[in-house]
Chains A and B, each alone.
Chain A
Amino acid sequence: MPGRQLIMDFEVTPTSHTLADYKARGGYETLVKALGMAPADITKEVTASGLLGHGGAAFPVGRKWGVMKPNPGEIHYLCANADEGEPGTFKDRWILEHAPHLLVESMLITSYALGVRHAFVYIRGEFDLPCRRIQGAVDEAYAAGLLGKPVPGSDFTLDIVVYRGAGSYVCGEASGLITSIEGRKPYPRNRPPRLTVKGLFQKPTVINNVESLANITGIIRMGAEEFRKVGTAKSPGTQLISISGHIAKPGVYEVEYGYSWAKFLDEDCGGMLHGAKMKCVVPGGISTKVLTRPEIENLTLSHESVNPAGSGLGSGGMIVIAEGTCMVRLLQVLLRFYHHESCGQCTPCREGMGWMHRIIDRIVAGEGLPEDIERLYAISHANDGTTICGMGDAAGFATVGILNKFRDEFEYWIANKRSKMDGRLECRA
């Protein structure tokens, strides 16, 4: 096991997601403890824990909460971001399917800390089982008197709505998400004002990733000091890594920050599929830059180790790529995705994604021009920082990351009208 476990610390059984099983594991006991604390002390504890957001940006959770200054009588909202759509990422799904009550308890504690009366779980529309599991947990909590009326022994009441999306990557962006809850298409919003100042229906709103929230119960239960004993000084705690691609044992792993990256791949994940050699790895969702095997050899899975290498752990969506995989075809898949998901609000992204997609299609069709590589660079750079949300930048990062390291494959295809690597994305035995 790659270090200590804080979230995946129980055995998954056919009933482990139910209220009865969760309570048998000590579930909802931390809620009682939290309701005995002053709300501001909970925020203080979370800030002291150093918990970093798990949605991709690793923004300190306590700092986000700190912006919200709960005033009695004023309206504040909380949204759990369960719109997991960054390709390569499927770890929130694990929490929703197997530990939905951990999320509900954490949302109760968070709402109490932030003066929230109504909270939302925004879940992607395709997630059928995860949606039924979290809705089931919410319904169980209502029936048990934990939601919808004052929690026994307190005057704190919370309602939770499970809100289903309907197929859109941009809804995972926090301001796109709340625009979607308002019943419209999810156009992201300019900041300032920050969403913690003016969010859902113009009221202060905290939006946290499911995994970030799932950590709250543990932090309050064990205290910030104990929590900080897990992980490293700069990356406290653990991260759920969802690993896929050409790896022997894909799946979700809870990794303690500071664990050796090479050991994680070679031992915990069983090494490469069919004993292949590793070409490179996407560390945390396709919007993070690829790193080659030599580049990661001595790194640990922590922000302070991966960031200086020019990439990031992002959403923990790790995709392992074997030698022999065609990076031109791989970029084609990425750019098709970004083009498909651009919401169309900002010109650089709306037009840029289309241009990049058509250029890569042209290269693959054997009609690429020698200057197309520079064009892809130019469009990527033109998107950087010129769009309202980060999607434009992300597509550019991913493209530049691949072009920088595998430029020869693009030049080869343009010159020879065929792949240098036989055009394969699969890794055969």
Chain B
Amino acid sequence: MRHLIPEFERMKERFPEGFDSSLVLPCLHRIQADRGYVAEEDIVGLCEYLSVPRIQVEEVLSYYTMLRREGIGKTHLQVCRNIACSMRGAEGVIEHACKRLGVKPGETTADGKFTLSTVECLGSCGTAPVLMVNDAYHENMTLEKLDALIADLSAGGGNS
């Protein structure tokens, strides 16, 4: 994470003074975007940089569902399964994704290309069902669109 410190310093400028503790979450987001996950050395470096106790970083890492301490597949497929999506076919989408990729929710394909997750409400209920390919929303999902998406991602770089 040390090469990110100049960026963290710029981030700090817009915060009020004495808000170093608030930087834990934004710094972890940035570290994860850089490395794909948060590693042990990042935790140690961040505690030192922000002068916060290790327990605080551990607490944040273990609580928030978007943060992870281990790498995942190149493409992260996250399918919403909350009420509005379930009412518009999310259960079929999840079942189909499992079959196509040969994994269960929470697992990564053997070739490391895909990790499949189920998530709760993404705030996209009007265009349900919705899934996320890494950071991007893909709305009004159908089984045909999902097939095309997986084929496209398998052939290409794995990014949306």
Contacts and interface: CB of A to CB of B under 8 A. Distances in A.
B52 A183 contact: yes
Interface in B61-75: 63-67
A235 B84 CA distance: 27
A50 interface: no
A117 interface: yes
B105 interface: no
Nearest to A317: B125
Contacts of A317: 125
B66 A167 contact: yes
> Which of B23, B29, B65, B81 has the most C-beta atoms of chain A within 10 angstroms of its own C-beta?
B65
A111 to B, nearest CB: 13
A343 B59 CA distance: 12
Given A161-B14, A286-B83, A85 B26 contact: no
B51 to A, nearest CB: 12
A164 B89 contact: no
Interface in B43-88: 52, 56, 59-60, 63-67, 81-84, 86-88
> Which of B66, B81, B89 has the most C-beta atoms of chain A within 10 angstroms of its own C-beta?
B66
Contacts of A349: none
B132 interface: yes
B84 A244 contact: yes
A412 to B, nearest CB: 20
Interface residues of B, number: 46
A93 B22 contact: no
A126 B87 contact: no
B142 interface: no
A87 B121 contact: yes
B123 A124 contact: yes
A259 interface: no
Contacts of A167: 64-67, 119
Contacts of B124: 90, 93
A236 B119 CA distance: 36
B152 interface: no
Contacts of B67: 166-167
B25 A164 contact: yes
B91 interface: yes
Contacts of A426: 86-89, 91-92
B31 to A, nearest CB: 12
Interface residues of A, number: 61
B157 interface: no
> Which of A125, A126, A201 has the most C-beta atoms of chain B within 10 angstroms of its own C-beta?
A126
A190 to B, nearest CB: 20
B121 A427 contact: no
Contacts of B6: none
A139 to B, nearest CB: 10
Which DSSP category, helix, strand, loop or mixed, fits chain B's interface? mixed
A161 B86 CA distance: 35
A245 B19 CA distance: 42
A341 B125 contact: no
B123 A127 contact: yes
Contacts of A343: 63
Interface stretch (A100-108, A330-338, A366-374): A330-338
A140 interface: no
A118 B15 contact: yes
A90 B22 contact: no
B53 to A, nearest CB: 11
B26 A128 contact: no
Interface stretch (A10-18, A218-226, A246-254): A246-254
A323 to B, nearest CB: 13
Interface in B1-55: 14-16, 18-19, 21-26, 28-29, 52
Contacts of A163: 22, 25-26
Contacts of B23: 183
10 nearest A-B pairs in the assembled complex, by CB-CB distance: A166-B64, A244-B125, A167-B65, A185-B63, A183-B24, A167-B66, A250-B126, A183-B21, A244-B84, A87-B121
24 contacts: A87-B83, A88-B121, A117-B16, A125-B29, A126-B122, A128-B135, A148-B14, A159-B15, A161-B14, A182-B21, A201-B18, A245-B83, A245-B88, A245-B125, A250-B125, A250-B127, A286-B83, A319-B125, A330-B83, A333-B82, A341-B120, A343-B63, A426-B87, A426-B91
Interface of B: 14-16, 18-19, 21-26, 28-29, 52, 56, 59-60, 63-67, 81-84, 86-89, 91-92, 119-128, 132, 135-137
Given A88-B125, A124-B123, 7 more contacts: A90-B123, A167-B67, A168-B63, A184-B56, A251-B126, A333-B83, A425-B87
